[in-house]
Amino acid sequence: MVDLNSCIYQGHVMHHRFSPAKHRFIYRVFSCCIDLDELPWLDQLKLFSLNSFNLFSFHEKDYGSGREEGNLVGYIRSLLIKRGYPSATHRIKLLCYPRILGYAFNPLSVYFCYNAEEKLEVILYEVSNTFGSRHTYLLPAGDSIDVVRHGCNKKLYVSPFMPMDTAYSFRIQPPTKKVAVCIRQSNSNAVDSHPILHATFTGSHSTLNDLSLLKMLIKYPLMTLKVMGGIHWEALKLWRKKLKIQPRDKNRTLSISWQDKSGVSHHESL
């Protein structure tokens, strides 16, 4: 088997809510960072399958438009070209949870999109909620090398206890020996705005092969089921703290917002 760019990151997810009530939790997790062009090679592993059941699997319909079982990398490349970033289609890596025993839920999937010089050019944040809606934030990486920073307004209802009229600030350490995805949610995009929530994933690199997958199964049994269970458990704790449930737009299902090369922001329902 060829040497792969795809890998595993073991680490922790942390959420720290500041208002209207303080709430904090940390969970041990692992994520796969998959070079989407390597999916056919990963399908040759004994414990990992593409678009079919296995101990670990990756189903392309879980991501992107959610309309097709195959060719996720083609969909993302066409999306980048359509939004004005054709040079960012050379290599696309996706940081996500795999399916374990057929199940996964990814609150956030992150696409790192590189040009032919292997420079990170665009990051896509694909946010999914437990109500079946999905929104993608497409943002240019700029000239940063080690850490990428940018921000945008919130477009998708996620937590029942979090208002829509808020903004995200991102601090990203792209995947190398370590990866970090840090999100600060606040009342506005202003630098001195009051923080509502900090959410982070930090992880260290491991090789992706059958042996490492077996170790992940032992170390993180039924992790993806625990992710969904943890979401509802933490929501119950917040409800017991008497946080107000926010109204939800039940008609929104799939949408995208992006910033073009001139810095203008756009939004579109798909």
Interval 139-168: pLDDT, tens: 999 887 789 998 999 999 888 778 888 999
Angle at 159 between CA 201 and CA 103, to 5 degrees: 65
Give pTM, 2 decimals.
Answer: 0.93
Strand segments (E) across the chain = 7-17, 23-35, 48-50, 56-58, 91-96, 99-100, 108-114, 120-128, 134-140, 148-153, 167-173, 178-186, 195-207, 254-259, 265-269
Strand partners, 60: none
187-232 pLDDT per residue, tens: 876 555 778 999 999 999 999 999 999 999 999 988 988 888 887 7
Residue 232 identity: H
Distances (CA, A) of 10 to 47, 203, 268: 18, 5, 35
Structure tokens belonging to residue 13? 């997810």
Confidence of residue 107 (pLDDT cuts 50, 70, 90): very high
Q: Are 12 and 28 spatial neighbours (Cβ–Cβ below 8 Å)?
A: yes
The count of other CB atoms within 10 Å of the CB of residue 116 is: 10
CA 213 to chain centre: 20
82-105 pLDDT per residue, tens: 999 999 999 999 999 999 999 999
